[in-house]
Structure formats: C-alpha cells, structure tokens
Amino acid sequence: MILIFGGAYQGKLAYAQQAYGPGQTVFVCEDDMAEPDFNSAILSSYHLLVLGQLRKGIDPCAYIEAHWNQLQEKIILCDDISCGVVPMDAEMRRWREAVGRCMGMFSRQAESVIRVFCGIGMRLK
C-alpha cells in the first residue's frame, strides 16, 4: 500500500500517475458511497469515502480492518483535512477525526507515505 496525502488541489493524482504509471485505473470516491471499487489500482479522494461511511453509520476504521487484504496493493489518495479551523458542525468534526484515524492506520502499515505539496512529493516513509 502507498498512501499519498496533501491539501486539496495539490496534484496528488498527477503525482501518483507520474510516479507509479499513467495507465493505473483510478476510482474516485464520493461522499454518498460506502465502498470503493477494489478493482482499481488507485483509490482517489478517500476522505470523501470516509464521510459517506459516517453518514451511512459505518465505522471507517472498522471498515479498513475488515477490508485490509483488499487495500494492501492499492495507492490511496486522501486530502489532509486536519489543518485550519476546527469545524463548528459536529458531523464535520467527526469526519475530520475519522479521516485522521484512517490515515494513521494506513501510514503505519503502508510501504510508503508521501505528502504532496504544490505537485512535489515528499517521502515521509
């Protein structure tokens, strides 16, 4: 597993395609879904999948544990939503915390962790 994270619109997908091959299939997660397409090599916008899972009453961390084998060979792209002002809305605070927990789970087990800022990848692990 490879975790690539960074702020919104920082070039995570372009970086992943350049570094790991432009022919990789990409699945873009959305906030109204609870499950990604595990047939794709790249799972983009994972932070939105977490929001969809929370809205459907699914624990995102438990979901990762239950689907760990399917995630092992993936490149996961996730926006870092931990910066800035803490949201007033309770749902958005739960989302922010859940994304952080999921990214922590991924980063501990990932083969590599890369932060992308302005299109430049910085390898953390």
> Strand 2-6's sheet: what is its strand order?
26-28, 42-44, 75-79, 2-6, 112-117, 120-123
Closest CA to 5 of 77, 57, 73: 77
What is the helix (H) or strand (E) element at residue 68, kind and residue range? helix 68-71
pLDDT in tens, the chain (125 residues): 999 999 999 999 999 999 998 889 999 999 999 999 999 999 999 999 999 999 999 999 999 999 999 999 999 999 999 988 888 999 999 999 999 999 999 999 999 999 999 999 999 99
Q: Determine whether 58 is exposed, middle or buried from the number of CB atoms within 10 Å of its CB (0-12, 13-18, 19+).
A: middle
Q: pTM for the complete prediction?
A: 0.94
CATH class, 2-123 region: alpha beta
Contact 42, 77 (CB under 8 A): yes
Distance from the first to the final alpha carbon of the chain: 12
For the chain, give every domain's residue range. Answer: 2-123
